[in-house]
Amino acid sequence: MSIQIFGTPVSRGVAIGRAVLVASSRVDVAHYFVGPDRVPAEIDRLRQARDAVVAELTQLKDELPQEAPHELSALLDVHLMLLHDDTVSDATKQWIEQRHYNAEWALSAQLEVLARQFDEMEDAYLRERKADVEQVVERMLRVLAGSSPAPGAPPPAGGPRDFGGEDPLVLVASDVAPADMLQFKRSVFTGFVTDVGGRTSHTAIVARSLDIPAVVGAREASRLIRQDDWVVIDGDAGVVLVNPSSIVLEEYRFRQRQSELERARLNRLRNTPAVTLDGQPVELLANIELPGDAPAALEAGAVGVGLFRSEFLFMNRGGSLPGEDEQYEAYRDAVLAMQGLPVTIRTVDVGADKPLDRMSAHELRHEYGLNPALGLRAIRWSLSEPGMFRQQLRAILRASAHGKVRVLIPMVAHLSEIRLTLEALARARQQLDEAGRAYTAVEVGAMIEVPASAVIIDRFLRHFDYVSVGTNDLIQYTLAIDRDDEAVAHLYDGWHPAVLHLLQQTIASAQAAGKSVCVCGEMAGDTAFTELLLAMGLRSFSMHPARLASVKQRVLRADTRWLQERLPAVLAADDPAAAMLLLLRERTGV
Ligand code: PEP
Ligand code: MG
């Protein structure tokens, strides 16, 4: 049966593929293909993992003390039985043989199939047996994690598969933690759908950086879609079609080809300088999550990095944090990769929906109940860990010996935070001097993403070399809309007059003070806002490399004098988005 599911579009284009359902807790399982010649070796890994778990459980059972409750031994019997059950081992083998999944992926794919069968059982006792299967699979995954993968895996990032004929795949999950999204940079998936999340949730942001069509906040998607269903993800409209008719499928294939052609056409602008029709140069910078993203930024024609979200270096480390040298190497790598272009490194912004440990925003909320977006995050967290903060500042300063580095402080709201931050920087410099370490002058900037800082922007500007507007949070905090919450996603609106007012005030004040100002939130990469931001006087935009060409196209066609004259009318309109659209239509005559 064909169904449609609606969600929030976060990354443009059309993806068509077979669904791979991945449980939230298992997205960190390695997903890669093994070539046909590696299939027997992969099946062998699976067999060895099963044998190891059988041995482990048998030993556990043999060593059970006399007085142990009988249920425990019975439970171990059930687990041992499951390990020999065809629905686990044979079916898992088939995922490897027929789909060429690696062992871990095959195992978790089969777990998803079985979990659904259990969920649908009438009998409560049988339904609860799902937990047993999960425990057994968990044990096998642990063994597999310790075993070396089949030689040759995983395949190169984004590279073609070394065997033909397989269908493209799309990921369907209830939720994906931001840190887990990173591994999809090397992934086999051509699109994805999640049940939760909003337009600027960090999962959505990483999806956009991957430049694959995605829909979030699709609520029931992971329940309604089944493993292997054909799925169309319309990343423009936020619609997911499950098992569409062949006519609909053909229509989407046509649209997919069109958007690929459009993308290729846009990519030709790569080396064209971003200058408006009236000769205003515009700086288009890249947002990156890891040093490995820098080549893509260059490739897209970025003239620097406007936002390096350093927190991704801090995630999923089981409680340990990256030391000064490790951080320094990462920052240095990014600086060197950018070949002399400036790199803006934001100090760590953990907390809210970016916890240090693997936890999705959804789980986080369940776990803590409090509102993490208003809690100890970003600069608040850094200042509460002064040793860690100075360590990061030293690492960033050391990277400045290799190229142009700028430091960016997230979520500053209080003047006392500015004072403490500048003191920490001074102390970090002093420590480097004492240790005889090289560094050069770095510009220090503040992110304007809390309304309080936009309201008293003039006082902030006295202390910083530049400011960068984080519109994702500025919208969230101005409108009191949790950016991760799909239930209020329809109210999350960058066109809200209050947001536009703060934005305009920030840009105008920075320019009056002779300080540079950039926008590095998702708004900078959203072409719906390009003319508005240009009209406000913005000349520096930082976005995912994948968005750069589209924004550049809009810049090349814009006349800032013409836009500036019409800005007051747009801002005064009840619906500024519609007013802007109307103006642009009139101008182009479309
Ligand atoms: C923002 O808030 O706009 C921003 C760029 O920071 P982040 O999305 O990482 O919170
Ligand atoms: Mg932010």
Tens-place pLDDT, residues 137-146? 888 888 888 7
CA distance 87 to 141: 17
Grade residue 527 by pLDDT with cuts at 50, 70 and 90: very high
Coil, helix or strand for 391?
helix
Mean local confidence (pLDDT), 397-414: 98
**pLDDT for the residue 158:** 38
Which residues are catalytically annotated?
202, 520
Among the listed ranges 102-106, 152-156, 344-348, 411-415, which one has the minimum average pLDDT value?
A: 152-156
- From atom 6 of ligand 1, which residue's Cα is the shortest distance away? 470
Calculate how far, in angstroms, residue 473's C-alpha sits from the geometric centre of ligand 1: 6
User: Rounded CA gap, 217 and 555, in Å?
Assistant: 31
The pLDDT assigned to 157 comes to 39
> Among the atoms of ligand 1, which is closest to the Cα of residue 449?
2
Atom number, ligand 1, closest to the C-alpha of residue 311: 9
Q: What is the pLDDT of residue 162?
A: 37
pTM above 0.75, yes or no: yes
**pLDDT for the residue 575:** 94
What's the pLDDT band for 320 if we cut at 50, 70, 90? confident
Q: How far is the CA of 150 from the centre of ligand 1 (A)?
A: 39
With cut-offs at 50, 70 and 90, classify the pLDDT of residue 186: low
The average pLDDT across 41-68 equals 87
Q: pLDDT at residue 289 above 70?
A: yes
Q: What angle do CA 95, 148, 323 make, to 5 degrees?
A: 120
CA of 200 to the centre of ligand 2 (A): 10
Give the amino acid at 38. R
Residues with CB under 5 A from ligand 2 (ion): 449, 470, 473
Residue in 391, 392, 405, 389 with CA at minimum distance from that of residue 439 = 405
pLDDT at 484 over 90: no
Q: Residues 356, 317: contact at Cβ < 8 Å?
A: yes
Is the CB–ligand 1 distance for residue 470 below 6 Å?
yes
Atom of ligand 1 nearest to the CA of 309: 9
Q: What is the pLDDT of residue 543?
A: 97
* Cβ partners under 8 Å of residue 410, min gap 6: 346, 347, 349, 378, 379, 447, 449, 470
CA angle 219, 258, 554 (to 5 degrees): 85
349 CB near ligand 1 (under 6 Å): yes
Distance 580 CA to ligand 1 centre (A): 25
Q: Whose CA is nearest to atom 8 of ligand 1?
A: 472
Across the range 72-99, mean pLDDT stands at 84
CA distance 531 to 538: 10
104 C-beta closer than 6 A to ligand 1: no
